Chain A
């Protein structure tokens, strides 16, 4: 059965609980949550898991904008075949966000990937190490500001 996005009107109840902490991204056709305050991030995600039965965190990714990072979470409800996208902006100087491994264990590798490639720090992650790149790699290559470091004596360029 094909998955569909969670209808916006189902989210109004959540908006009532967090009036100033969350908002909708109206630039997108599908209803997308934006979390405005980091303090309630885990609380909102917890509510989405318990009340809205989003039992799977299917994807974590991150975007490097001019003035901030944005971490994007894709949640899935496998009973009703519903999806929801949640976004949160992080300051470039302080790209820290609490880990979701306690709510969704599958967040483990995906958070490590975002740490590896984008340099997002997931606070409280049990094993926040590089996953795709070698352990001695310098920098986070998907950041727009990334400059390739010459391999000492190995690379000819």
Chain B
């Protein structure tokens, strides 16, 4: 006997059955709350993405929070210096689980044009774990939106990005 057969006939067309995990993934992936944080020029594109022309709200991601305790997505938008690295890491640690990180732009990905500089962290993955890398200098708002949709896919189907053991 399948579990579906237990559902009374009158509810069959009104009730969807899924797993708790599936429900949570669905809910989380549709309502990411990014942290209001920008390090340099990429942050301008991030603001554009949330504003009228690109309208991030179409995807449900418009609730930028001023406190890390209310956010679950950290968009690292810009150049990270070694001086700024400890505060950035602290912000990440203050975010409640589950939390996700997007490295936006060349600087956050790998240090960008400053990769060899004494003052710049060559990629934020040296400091905190990263879910999605968005290339570009800076990436256009469309690229950020695409990156967030990739993150949505990752949250819904974590198995597709799991690293295969060597």
Docked-complex contact B122 and A134, CB < 8 angstroms: no
Which residues of B sit under 8 angstroms from A18, Cβ to Cβ? none
Question: Which residue in chain B gives the minimum CB-CB distance to A130?
Answer: B83
Surface stretch bound by B, among A44-52, A59-67, A149-157: A149-157
How many of chain A's residues have a CB under 8 angstroms from any CB in B? 12
Please, how many angstroms separate the alpha-carbon atoms of A148 and B116 in the complex?
A: 9
Main secondary structure of the interface of B (DSSP, over half): loop
Cβ contact of A133, chosen from B119, B122, B126, B127, cutoff 8 A: B119
Please, how many angstroms separate the alpha-carbon atoms of A127 and B159 in the complex?
A: 54
* B82 CB–A CB distance under 8 Å: yes
Which residues of A sit under 8 angstroms from B86, Cβ to Cβ? 134
Q: How large is the interface on B (under 10, 10 to 19, 20 to 34, 35 or more residues)?
A: 10 to 19
- Chain A residues 13-28 with CB under 8 Å of chain B are none
Cβ contact of A134, chosen from B82, B126, B127, cutoff 8 A: B82
Docked-complex contact A156 and B119, CB < 8 angstroms: no
Docked-complex contact B83 and A132, CB < 8 angstroms: yes
Closest Cβ–Cβ distance, residue B8 to chain A (whole Å): 60
Please, how many angstroms separate the alpha-carbon atoms of A2 and B29 in the complex?
A: 58
Closest Cβ–Cβ distance, residue A145 to chain B (whole Å): 13
Docked-complex contact A155 and B119, CB < 8 angstroms: no
Closest Cβ–Cβ distance, residue B76 to chain A (whole Å): 16
Which residues of B sit under 8 angstroms from A148, Cβ to Cβ? 116, 118
Which residues of B sit under 8 angstroms from A155, Cβ to Cβ? 122, 126
Please, how many angstroms separate the alpha-carbon atoms of A134 and B85 in the complex?
A: 9
Interface membership of chain B positions 114-155, coded 1 if the CB is closer than 8 angstroms to chain A and 0 otherwise? 001011001000110000000000000000000000000000
Which residues of A sit under 8 angstroms from B83, Cβ to Cβ? 132-134
Closest Cβ–Cβ distance, residue B79 to chain A (whole Å): 14
User: Given A134-B83, A137-B82, does the pair A154, B126 have CB atoms closer than 8 Å?
Assistant: yes
* A95 CB–B CB distance under 8 Å: no
Closest Cβ–Cβ distance, residue B115 to chain A (whole Å): 9
Which residues of A sit under 8 angstroms from B122, Cβ to Cβ? 155-157
Closest Cβ–Cβ distance, residue B134 to chain A (whole Å): 21
Which residues of B sit under 8 angstroms from A132, Cβ to Cβ? 83, 119
Docked-complex contact B126 and A141, CB < 8 angstroms: no
Q: Which residues of A contact B (CB under 8 A)?
A: 132-134, 137, 141, 146, 148, 151, 154-157
A and B contact pairs by CB, cutoff 8 A, 16 listed: A132-B119, A133-B82, A133-B83, A133-B119, A134-B82, A134-B83, A134-B85, A134-B86, A137-B118, A141-B119, A146-B118, A148-B116, A154-B126, A155-B122, A155-B126, A156-B122
